[in-house]
Chain A
């Protein structure tokens, strides 16, 4: 039963386009592609739109060079490549919630070169630590609400927003409950399974996803993974949906017991707290959520959160990954490593690209794991 649940998550990721096309045909509603988790999906669900996250395919890039200078991260180029190759030809529009320059570039190149009915950029504030960010984003989202209403030809009521908020909050809460099972000495799920659980939630209807999470939560207490968890690892850094890497590392005698990724815990950690002004409530969530480092200044709040996660999940070591050219994450590597080191968590940095050199990475990760477990067993 549990294996079937994880198999479904996997299938949803592998067949994300087929899923969305079928959903669209079944519901006769619109599907929208979004680039970053700063897009308030609550408002899209309120408008009966299915939001699907645009992510790459990890194939060597061949089509994006004329549109994005290759010094920008592989994620933004890989996302655009999916559009240029026509893989998202079923979506009715694209949205970006301001995060980094890289994804903004993918958004604009898509807007300019791939015909789409609706392209909207939300200027989510960067200064999330200043008190004016929430009122500002509230107005920005009110404008977005109006644009959505005009596009779908229907008023988005407060009841609609409540429905969207509830749907997202429920999915986040259930996912966090699953995450709690990773704190156990013998975690109930692997890091790869956790990644596939969250990733798939960014690609399918949250309602359907939540139903599966509920089933999973019923069965999880009785699950015993037939494997030695080995070293308890954390993975932290840029957007990461490299499932092959996760699988390979966990085959080396380790388990990722927690992550700090926008394809993982950062996506589900914070709920919308209800307020009579629904848009204000949504704005508050996106300002107060665990931030992408692009917005996290002057204080390193995400670093502090990562340290807390490492403690709560009893982490032994952390892989700090940076997508090549991802400045916000790259900038934080030394402060993050120092903070983790201060609580006794050793770290190892890895630079990711559209494909990773597993041969080299394997040697390096093995060496890192050896430093965490001691060298005695070698002799």
Chain B
């Protein structure tokens, strides 16, 4: 076996905090009604700061992370898919969406630790946004399924499909289109829930969200260090807080604590992978049922530093005048009024990096190339993800762009949420051949 430098490693101290926070999130949603609270359902990208103005006892369940949790527990996933297919839906649809619908159809709810409980908790309302073909439709059908069970769920969905601009601000009329929908949405929330809306809580939530999503970008930036303090498999358990509760103070506190810990790891040279010698990034969601592939990569001394997905799904970034890709600067101050808060969250959100590729493949390629350069990446593993058309759209163009720039690329096909569409042994065999073509030998079994 080849001898390579070995870096010190340590478990993350914050690991238990992450587990507890995530567990509490699913429990809070489940038990919200016991304390007179409200619960809503929507996507991880929905403007979650807006319903926060209804009170501190308002809890959400975001669909994609919930779909991913189901995907991780393959027995339950199989049951969900069977139920959805039996109901007549095609198996080619978004895998998260099918997991989510399956959960409704089975009338089961999965907790963070994989415990499946009876009675799927219907939301009091749906609060969604729409940029992918499936976003609005997902909850339209969720509502239809709930109605068949006797529960009428009101739904509000914000259209954000206004395009993307990498280098200059979006036109004002596009921003206003979203702002106006959110203003209407606030009125709709008041009418739907019968609660009085608090602009103060809204301002707090918006400020929490901009801080949390910048903090996550700052944490990802620390992975530019060699050795990388975090590996992507661990980052999945950390970035998820932003997908669940980006507007909540707990999320800000969690990322502040995490940032301090990762900074300390960098200072002390603590590595995520002891034998790090080859740095890769991936793209799109991983096949959640097969995260062990990252451990297989480590046997070659390969560390996956993250991806545009892990960095930019929730983290907010912007190009600086010097051309580097960096955490987006916070607005000058916390919003004080509803008008300021709504405008701020829209202007903040339209720069979301993971919205770029929906419209402009070159923008995504540019961001990936920035990561390659700034994070000292040796190769890119592109997951052609059959489970998510939104994040796979234009992926073939990104492959071209990376190859043209001289970056080694390993494309592999799979599915984030449907294990029937991921060939683990086959992918591993091809991946190891790719690593060998990069001059790597296996360091350990």
Q: B384 touching A328 by the CB < 8 A rule?
A: no
Residues of B within 8 A of A123 (CB): 161-163, 174
* Chain A residue nearest to B154 in the complex (CB): A298
In the assembled complex, the Cα of A335 lies from the Cα of B89 at a distance in Å of 10
A114 touches B (CB below 8 Å): no
Which of B24-32, B268-276, B385-393 sits within the interface?
B385-393
B220 touches A (CB below 8 Å): no
> Whole-angstrom distance from the CB of A322 to the nearest CB of chain B?
6
Interface residues of A in 282-336 (CB under 8 A from B): 293-294, 297-298, 300, 322, 324-325, 327-328, 330-335
**A104-B359, A123-B163, A126-B130 known; A71-B392 Cβ under 8 A:** yes
Q: For B94, B126, B156, B396, which residue has the most chain A Cβ atoms within 10 angstroms?
A: B396
* Chain A residue nearest to B136 in the complex (CB): A297
In the assembled complex, the Cα of A333 lies from the Cα of B184 at a distance in Å of 31
Q: A335 touching B141 by the CB < 8 A rule?
A: yes
> Among the listed B94, B97, B136, B139, which residue makes an inter-chain contact with A126, where contact means beta carbons less than 8 Å apart?
B136
**A130-B181, A132-B180 known; A328-B137 Cβ under 8 A:** yes
B9 touches A (CB below 8 Å): no
Q: B159 touching A127 by the CB < 8 A rule?
A: yes
**A327-B133, A333-B90 known; A101-B358 Cβ under 8 A:** yes
Residues of A within 8 A of B140 (CB): 297-298, 300, 331
Q: A293 touching B137 by the CB < 8 A rule?
A: yes
In the assembled complex, the Cα of A112 lies from the Cα of B181 at a distance in Å of 34
B81 touches A (CB below 8 Å): no
Residues of B within 8 A of A104 (CB): 358-359, 393
Residues of A within 8 A of B90 (CB): 322, 324, 330, 333, 351
In the assembled complex, the Cα of A65 lies from the Cα of B426 at a distance in Å of 20
Q: B94 touching A327 by the CB < 8 A rule?
A: yes
Q: B384 touching A330 by the CB < 8 A rule?
A: no
Q: A66 touching B88 by the CB < 8 A rule?
A: no
Q: A72 touching B389 by the CB < 8 A rule?
A: yes
In the assembled complex, the Cα of A133 lies from the Cα of B181 at a distance in Å of 9
Residues of B within 8 A of A298 (CB): 126, 136, 139-140, 143, 155-157
Residues of A within 8 A of B159 (CB): 125-127, 130, 133
Interface residues on B, range: 35 or more
Interface residues on A, range: 35 or more
Interface residues of B in 347-387 (CB under 8 A from A): 358-362, 384, 386
> Whole-angstrom distance from the CB of A348 to the nearest CB of chain B?
11
In the assembled complex, the Cα of A71 lies from the Cα of B284 at a distance in Å of 15
Residues of B within 8 A of A67 (CB): 396-397, 400
Interface residues of A in 68-104 (CB under 8 A from B): 68-69, 71-72, 98, 100-102, 104
B297 touches A (CB below 8 Å): no
A109 touches B (CB below 8 Å): yes
Q: For A71, A123, A143, A337, which residue has the most chain B Cβ atoms within 10 angstroms?
A: A71
* Chain A residue nearest to B126 in the complex (CB): A298
Interface flags for B170-190 (1: CB within 8 Å of A; 0: not) read 010110010011001000000
In the assembled complex, the Cα of A71 lies from the Cα of B158 at a distance in Å of 27
> Whole-angstrom distance from the CB of A203 to the nearest CB of chain B?
26
A361 touches B (CB below 8 Å): no
Residues of B within 8 A of A139 (CB): 173
* Chain A residue nearest to B162 in the complex (CB): A123
B4 touches A (CB below 8 Å): no
Q: A108 touching B161 by the CB < 8 A rule?
A: no
Q: B137 touching A327 by the CB < 8 A rule?
A: yes
Residues of B within 8 A of A19 (CB): none
Q: B393 touching A127 by the CB < 8 A rule?
A: no
Residues of A within 8 A of B392 (CB): 69, 71
In the assembled complex, the Cα of A127 lies from the Cα of B97 at a distance in Å of 20
* Chain B residue nearest to A336 in the complex (CB): B88
Q: A327 touching B157 by the CB < 8 A rule?
A: no
Q: B397 touching A297 by the CB < 8 A rule?
A: no
Q: B181 touching A108 by the CB < 8 A rule?
A: no
Q: B137 touching A127 by the CB < 8 A rule?
A: no
* Chain B residue nearest to A128 in the complex (CB): B159
Q: A331 touching B141 by the CB < 8 A rule?
A: yes
Residues of B within 8 A of A331 (CB): 89, 93, 97, 134, 137-138, 140-141
> Among the listed A108, A140, A143, which residue makes an inter-chain contact with B394, where contact means beta carbons less than 8 Å apart?
A108
B7 touches A (CB below 8 Å): no
In the assembled complex, the Cα of A297 lies from the Cα of B140 at a distance in Å of 6
Q: B89 touching A125 by the CB < 8 A rule?
A: no
Residues of B within 8 A of A349 (CB): 88
Interface residues of B in 41-72 (CB under 8 A from A): none
The 8 lowest CB-CB distance pairs between A and B, nearest first, are A127-B159, A297-B136, A330-B90, A136-B177, A334-B88, A298-B155, A331-B137, A139-B173
Give me 16 other A-B pairs in contact (C-beta within 8 A), A123-B174, A125-B177 excluded. A66-B400, A67-B396, A71-B386, A72-B389, A104-B393, A109-B396, A126-B159, A127-B136, A127-B158, A127-B159, A130-B159, A139-B173, A297-B139, A298-B140, A325-B389, A327-B134
Taking beta carbons and an 8 Å cutoff, which residues of A are in contact with B?
Answer: 65-69, 71-72, 98, 100-102, 104-105, 108-109, 112, 121, 123, 125-127, 130-133, 135-136, 139-140, 143, 293-294, 297-298, 300, 322, 324-325, 327-328, 330-335, 337, 349, 351
Pairs A–B under 8 Å by Cβ, sample size 9: A69-B392, A105-B393, A126-B159, A127-B136, A127-B157, A127-B159, A298-B143, A300-B140, A328-B137
